[in-house]
Amino acid sequence: MDHIVLVGASAAGLTAADALRLEGFTGSLTMVGEELRPPYDRPPLSKHVLSGKLEPHKTTLRQDADLQRLRMNLKLGRRATHLDPAGRTVTLDDGDRLDYDGLIIATGLRPRHLPFGHGLAGVHVLRTLDDAVSLRAQLLAAPRVVVIGGGFLGTEIAATTRGLGLDVSLVDVEDTPLARQLGPQIGGLVADMHQEHGVRLHMNRTVTELTGTAGRVTAVQLDDGTSLPADLVVVAIGSVPAVDWLADSGLPLGDGVLCDSTCQVAPGIYAAGDVANWPHPLTGERTRLEQRTNATQQALTAARNLLAGPAEATPYAPVPFGWTDQYTAKIQFHGWCPMDARVAYVDGDPQDGKFVALYYTGDRVVGALGWNSARTLRAYHDRIAAPVAA
């Protein structure tokens, strides 16, 4: 293999580059990234960059010298617009065509938008470092913030903005924040935590309209007739895989790029990170994870499998791991946290803000969550077994 192209210059793309070099690939490597900035880490954006505790440039994933050691042709500010798997070429937005022997797709996600209101000033999303910088600049002059969406991103933004002393409302269609991600029981604790910190929760509510004056947002309208005054709105209603550039490639697409269990999409083409959807060998279910650790682990597997070839490729079968930091709570979770799981506290006590909970389906432990209990949580990792498909 002489030339490998990586599309997506972030956590998964960069890890794949590292892994290819570590595995002894000496051919030429090209990395294409739509953003102008060199690869940086996203988890701090909604936490320390937004709060002002971390300077934006400190999110960088590699110093210049380390990037140079990878001997890559790094094409930043360039977007892949087309893939021809038969001809083995990737076309870029400047018309450049890159021939490849191997390709790793690591294009991540794009934020989902509401069908209305995004043209108004004061309405933001948060996915990139530029988003975080612009949101932070606006927050300083925006006392009333409405966050739409109570997933990980929305709850973190609510916690961080509340920590800055702003008036914060959080809206979600579910009964509790993080209900879909961590189940309603833990979601209830997350709701209590936000309320104790003074966030106004509007659960079970749908946003019907964003209203504004002179092109700037002034309020968020809810389906029960409530009007929430807003100087700034953050829309955090999920993301969609960045597969637009693959639409006419003939690759299998669905909720992401559809790979096999070894992360292969087509001969010589692998995918990794938030964009990759693969049949998880432990559950038999198609899976796509939006977790930082997965981006690293999956990119390692994809890179190794690309070099090894299909006959030697190994399936990708991780026990998922994610985390979120909100106020003083550091929440980490291994495995699966289905909404209908039975949740039992096995160590500590939610009232003390420090505990471990196990998620059961039947008598099977399918997940473990630690709330300010990272060390204790590790002991439960080996008890986790994947959920059995119904």
Ligand X SMILES: Cc1cc2nc3c(=O)[nH]c(=O)nc-3n(C[C@H](O)[C@H](O)[C@H](O)COP(=O)(O)OP(=O)(O)OC[C@H]3O[C@@H](n4cnc5c(N)ncnc54)[C@H](O)[C@@H]3O)c2cc1C
Kindly state whether residue 109 participates in binding ligand X, applying the rule CB under 6 A: yes
Q: Using CB under 6 A, which of 29, 61, 108, 269 touches ligand X?
A: 108
For the bound state, the minimum distance from the C-beta of residue 277 to ligand X, rounded and expressed in Å, comes to 12
* Stretch of 51-59, 175-183, 217-225, 319-327 contacting ligand X, by CB under 6 A: 319-327
Kindly state whether residue 18 participates in binding ligand X, applying the rule CB under 6 A: no
**Closest by alpha carbon to 372, among 344, 347, 342, 336?**
347
Euclidean distance between CA atoms 52 and 29, whole angstroms: 36
Kindly state whether residue 155 participates in binding ligand X, applying the rule CB under 6 A: no
Q: Using CB under 6 A, which of 186, 189, 230, 242 touches ligand X?
A: 242
Euclidean distance between CA atoms 271 and 339, whole angstroms: 28
Kindly state whether residue 43 participates in binding ligand X, applying the rule CB under 6 A: yes
* Sign of the torsion formed by the C-alpha atoms of 5, 8, 9 and 12: negative
* Sign of the torsion formed by the C-alpha atoms of 199, 49, 325 and 150: positive
Kindly state whether residue 40 participates in binding ligand X, applying the rule CB under 6 A: no
Query: Could you give the string, one character per residue 264-293, with x where binding to ligand X holds by CB under 6 A and - elsewhere?
Result: ---------xx---------------xxxx
Kindly state whether residue 84 participates in binding ligand X, applying the rule CB under 6 A: no
Kindly state whether residue 32 participates in binding ligand X, applying the rule CB under 6 A: yes
The stretches of the chain forming alpha helices (DSSP H) are 11-22, 50-51, 64-69, 129-139, 152-163, 179-196, 292-308, 374-378
Kindly state whether residue 169 participates in binding ligand X, applying the rule CB under 6 A: no
Q: Using CB under 6 A, which of 268, 322, 335, 370 touches ligand X?
A: 322
Q: Which two tokens stand for residue 338?
A: 């289905």
Contact assessment for residue 193 and residue 217, using Cβ atoms and an 8 Å cutoff: no
Q: Using CB under 6 A, which of 4, 5, 6, 13 touches ligand X?
A: 13
Euclidean distance between CA atoms 194 and 200, whole angstroms: 8
* DSSP helix, strand, coil percent of the chain (3-state; round to 5): 25, 35, 40
For residue 182, report the phi and psi dihedrals to the nearest 5 degrees: -125, 5
Query: Could you give the string, one character per residue 186-225, with x where binding to ligand X holds by CB under 6 A and - elsewhere?
Result: ----------------------------------------
Binders of ligand X: how many residues, by CB under 6 A?
A: 36
**Closest by alpha carbon to 111, among 233, 256, 236?**
236
Q: Using CB under 6 A, which of 17, 31, 72, 106 touches ligand X?
A: 106
Q: Using CB under 6 A, which of 79, 124, 194, 205 touches ligand X?
A: 79
Q: Which two tokens stand for residue 353?
A: 């803000």
Kindly state whether residue 160 participates in binding ligand X, applying the rule CB under 6 A: no
Kindly state whether residue 161 participates in binding ligand X, applying the rule CB under 6 A: no
Q: Which two tokens stand for residue 177?
A: 């924040």
Residues of the shown chain interacting with ligand X in the complex, contacts defined by CB under 6 A:
7-13, 32-35, 42-43, 45-46, 79-80, 106-109, 126-127, 153, 242, 245, 273-274, 290-293, 295, 322-324
